[in-house]
Amino acid sequence: MKTLAELEAIRDKAREKMNIRNNNSEAIRVVVGMATCGIAAGARPVLNAFAEEVAKRRLENVVVNQTGCIGMCQFEPIVEVLVPGHEKVTYAKVTPDKVARIVVDHIVNGNPVMEYTIGHIMK
């Protein structure tokens, strides 16, 4: 390494990998139900798809978490998106191919994907 610019490039790249450790309460949280029911319904690939999508788009302010059983097993995989200052949005029967749209429309642009929400699916 011979320049400051190179050092900065290494820093920015390394920092992305450390994002997971920013334990801030202001962050947008994506919570995937990962109890036995959720895992059986395919929650793991969904969790991973979220983690990947968030990293790919370098969304520093988003934390992807799992949680236990949310209590509506027939709608698993269930994903909750919590944007500070907004109502919680719950998505049901999420599959990996739905993830990109949730991230772009909801998390980046602030428009929940109504047709994936549990309210819409239960109707």
Partner 1 sequence: MVRSHVLVCGGTGCTSSNSLKIIEALEKEINKQGLTDEVKVVQTGCFGLCALGPVMIVYPEGCFYSMVKVEDIPEIVSEHLLKGRIVTRLLYDETVGKDEIKSLNETDFYKKQVRVALRNCGVIDPESIEEYIAYDGYMALAKCLTEYTPEQVIKIVSDSGLRGRGGGGFPTGRKWALTAPNKAPQKYVVCNADEGDPGAFMDRSVLEGDPHAIIEAMAIAGYAIGATKGFVYVRAEYPIAVKRLQIAIDKAREYGLLGKNILGSGFDFDMEIRLGAGAFVCGEETALMTSIEGNRGEPRPRPPYPAVKGLFGMPTVENNVETLANIPQIILRGPEWFSSMGTEKSKGTKVFALGGKIKHTGLVEIPMGTTLREVVEEIGGGIPGGKKFKAAQTGGPSGGCIPAELFDTKIDYDNLTEIGCMMGSGGLIVMDEDTCMVDIAKFFLEFTVDESCGKCTPCRVGTKRLLEKLEKITSGNGTMQDIDELEELCNFIKENSLCGLGQTAPNPVLSTLRFFRDEYISHVKDKKCPAGVCKSLMSYVIIADKCKGCTACVRVCPVGAISGSVKQPHVIDDSKCIKCGACMEKCKFGAIVKQ
- Work out whether 21 is an interface residue with partner 1 (CB under 8 A): yes
The number of angstroms, rounded, from the C-alpha of 61 to the middle of its chain's C-alpha atoms is 11
Alpha helices of the chain — where are they, by DSSP H?
4-18, 36-40, 43-56, 96-101, 118-122
Instruction: For the CB of residue 52, give the shortest distance to partner 1 in the complex, in Å.
Output: 4
Among the candidate windows 4-12, 72-80, 93-101, 115-123, which touches partner 1 by CB under 8 A? Answer: 4-12
Residue 90 phi/psi, 5° resolution? -110, 125
**11 lies in the site for partner 1, by CB under 8 A:** yes
Binding letters toward partner 1, positions 43-82, x by CB under 8 A: ----xx--xx--x-------xxxxxx--------------
Q: List C-alpha distances in Å: 74 to 6, 27, 70, 78.
A: 51, 29, 11, 9
Among residues 26, 28, 36, 102, which is the contact residue for partner 1, using CB under 8 A?
36
**Is the bond preceding 77 in cis, omega lying within 30 degrees of 0?**
yes
* Binding range to partner 1, per CB under 8 A, among 6-14, 81-89, 94-102, 113-121: 6-14
Distance of alpha carbon 107 from alpha carbon 105, whole angstroms: 6
Task: Give contact residues for partner 1 (rule: CB under 8 A).
Answer: 1-4, 7, 10-11, 13-15, 17-18, 20-21, 23, 31-32, 34-36, 38-39, 47-48, 51-52, 55, 63-68
